[in-house]
A and B are shown apart, each in its own frame.
Chain A
Amino acid sequence: MSDAALHIAARPPLGGLRLLTGLASLLAVASALWLFQGLADGNRGFILHLRALKLGTMLVVACGIGVSTVLFQTVAANRVLTPSIMGFDSLYVLLQTSLIASFGIAGFAAVPVVAKFLAEVAVMCALAILLFGSLLGRGSRDIGRTILTGVILGVMFRSASGLMIRLIDPNEFAVVQASTVVSFTRANEALLPVGALLCGIGVAAALWLAPRLDVLALGRDSAVSLGLRHAPMVAATLGLVALLISVSTALVGPLAVFGPAAFFGLIVTGMTHGLVRSHRHALLLPASALIAANILVFGQMLFERVLHQQTALSVVIEFAGGLFFLYLLLKGRVR
């Protein structure tokens, strides 16, 4: 065998590490700026506390969206789909609405926040594995049908929650709104530590599965012939996606300033694959989390502190993401 061939087969991991270090340093700068920029003398402690809370929420949400989108695209063997396009977050909203509809406001308020949250996450994981496992597990040959099914599911979940909201009385409707449309500024102090912990567990599990995810991304046939237990792996990955999406959605709400926007994940994974240029999840997963966090923190800083436009960021992200989605579809890079 030639030395050249041996050299080619041994892949240098250095480029990836350098990229991750760069992204992490950039994020550190962004976080410091976010926390300390223009800190007035009065009320320092209070403002710092608020900013830290918001920063923490942004980091958890970014991590959740970045990692869950990479995971989802690996299961779907597709670069155009995201969990939001496939209706994961609308499923979560539907779940919350039906909880309120069945237990009523009193029952809903009586359940401790954290316990309720954990129960929701558990139900969400089970539902996601059931619904999407059968759709994606058999190595979905027909991508067009998968996209269509996902979009239809998303619309169905949304209209089902809409219908339920109309059926329950207006007071309860206000509760639904409050519990699903939470913005960063009202980040729930009780949920953030639990959310961060669950997100951390999810990301750690994903990193642990990284070598197997590399094989899963080859598609069902290749994965099975290499000896991967395909069905359990699909279920585990979808479970992690559901966990991460539930955490992000619970923390910021699906309609919040930059909640799990349908196209945000798409921008993140598009940039991730462009920058990492490797198929290895050990690099892709952390890179996607860091890229998402950088976009959120820098973007939020720009719009909130420089342009004084609280809501514009999500609009810009959705618009840019929508264009990118069209570009991917038109270029035929749907696989």
Chain B
Amino acid sequence: MIRLSGVSHQIGGASILNDITADLPRGRLTALIGPNGAGKSTLLRLIGRLEPLQTGSIHIDDLDLARTPSAEIARRMAVLGQQTVIASRLRLSDLVAFGRWPHHQGRPRPQDRAITADALEAFGLTPLAHRFLDEVSGGQAQRAYLAMTFAQDTDWLLLDEPLNNLDMSHARSLMARLSQLVRASGKSVVVVLHEVNYAAAWADHIVALKDGRILAEGAPQDVLTENGLGALYDTPVMVTQHDGRPLVLHHF
């Protein structure tokens, strides 16, 4: 379980997050939703220790984020930010191989190579493995970053808008893969999603953020209601049911 207690964050006097207290369940797929600027990325970056924690505390299972060496956290939790820009000229295979770095610290073992190869294969990147990162499409690059995060093989996976740039087939297969990781391998996933229907279809738990506060949290049926979503995004939506899960009609 990731336990957030009293987490607040300010940038240059502006308050970005206000006293966030929440538990993100272990062994579940948790979706963070909310309008642009709600503070989703900031919260994810705080949990992923990409930003220093200002107030409050964050525990990842038994580890206090503020007290645990970064290297140990990297073996427990993988983070993929919203805008990852890598300057070095890397081949996709090299990028994905970096996912194993927390485990071997620069001396890759045969099993690290095998896991890298698996991750490349799983994201359909084997034919592109020799290409440079700046010579592939946006979606292919995104899949490479995702493959690197998967290769890290951690209990916790934090992904900020992983569906960015992905076509519908890759988007669905990513969600299916995340769901399978949760169900079959007992991993825990926290993912920022903009398209609420992906949250409706795949998430076990939803946290809705607005203006740096938690507006609602709970099971998809309880959070994804017409009133709840209308208040969250300040826009009228219709919600029906499909296959026993909410289906949000918001695009017309």
Contacts and interface: CB of A to CB of B under 8 A. Distances in A.
Given A6-B113, A78-B87, A225 B118 contact: no
A8 B113 CA distance: 9
Interface residues of B, number: 43
- Among B50, B88, B114, chain A packs the most CB atoms within 10 A around the CB of B88
A273 interface: yes
B114 A6 contact: yes
A214 B117 CA distance: 20
Interface string A41-75: 00000000000000000000000000000000010
B87 A4 contact: no
A279 B87 contact: no
A161 to B, nearest CB: 32
Contacts of B101: 211, 215, 226-227
Given A224-B49, A279-B88, A218 B98 contact: yes
A217 interface: yes
Contacts of A222: 84, 86, 98
A12 to B, nearest CB: 12
Contact of A225 (B50, B85, B87, B107): B50
A40 interface: no
Contacts of B227: none
A78 B89 CA distance: 11
Contacts of A278: 94
Contacts of B88: 74, 77, 217-218, 279
Contacts of B146: none
Nearest to B72: A227
Contacts of B94: 11, 278-279
Interface string B68-91: 011111110011110011111110
A273 B97 CA distance: 20
A9 to B, nearest CB: 4
A221 interface: yes
A158 interface: no
Contacts of A74: 88
Contact of B120 (A9, A211, A219): A9
B70 A227 contact: yes
A9 B74 contact: no
Interface string A203-219: 00000001110110111
A219 B87 contact: yes
Interface in B108-163: 113-114, 116-118, 120-121, 126, 129-130, 152
Contact of B89 (A1, A214, A225, A279): A279
Contacts of A1: 114, 117-118, 121
B102 interface: yes
Interface in A216-252: 217-222, 224-229
A214 B75 CA distance: 18
B113 A217 contact: no
B34 interface: no
Interface string A129-167: 000000000000000000000000000000000000000
B39 interface: no
B220 interface: no
Contacts of B179: none
A115 interface: no
B224 to A, nearest CB: 30
Given A1-B114, A221-B50, A226-B98, A335 B85 contact: yes
Contacts of A226: 74, 98-99, 101-102, 152
Nearest to A79: B87
B48 interface: yes
A214 B87 CA distance: 11
A4 B126 contact: yes
A224 B86 contact: no
B86 A9 contact: no
Contact of A8 (B78, B85, B129): B129
A218 B86 contact: yes
A225 B74 contact: yes
A5 interface: yes
A10 interface: yes
A171 interface: no
Contacts of B113: 6, 9-10
Given A6-B117, A218-B98, A11 B106 contact: no
A214 B50 contact: no
B242 to A, nearest CB: 36
Contact of A227 (B73, B86, B114): B73
Given A6-B113, A11-B93, 19 more contacts: A1-B117, A2-B117, A2-B126, A5-B117, A8-B117, A8-B129, A8-B130, A9-B96, A9-B114, A77-B88, A78-B87, A212-B106, A217-B88, A220-B50, A222-B84, A222-B98, A226-B98, A227-B72, A227-B73
29 contacts: A1-B117, A1-B121, A2-B117, A2-B126, A5-B117, A5-B120, A8-B117, A8-B120, A8-B129, A9-B93, A9-B97, A11-B93, A11-B97, A74-B88, A78-B87, A211-B106, A215-B98, A215-B101, A217-B87, A221-B81, A222-B84, A225-B50, A226-B99, A227-B73, A227-B74, A227-B101, A228-B71, A229-B69, A278-B94
Query: Top 8 nearest A-B pairs by Cβ distance?
Result: A211-B106, A227-B74, A227-B71, A5-B117, A77-B87, A9-B117, A225-B79, A9-B116
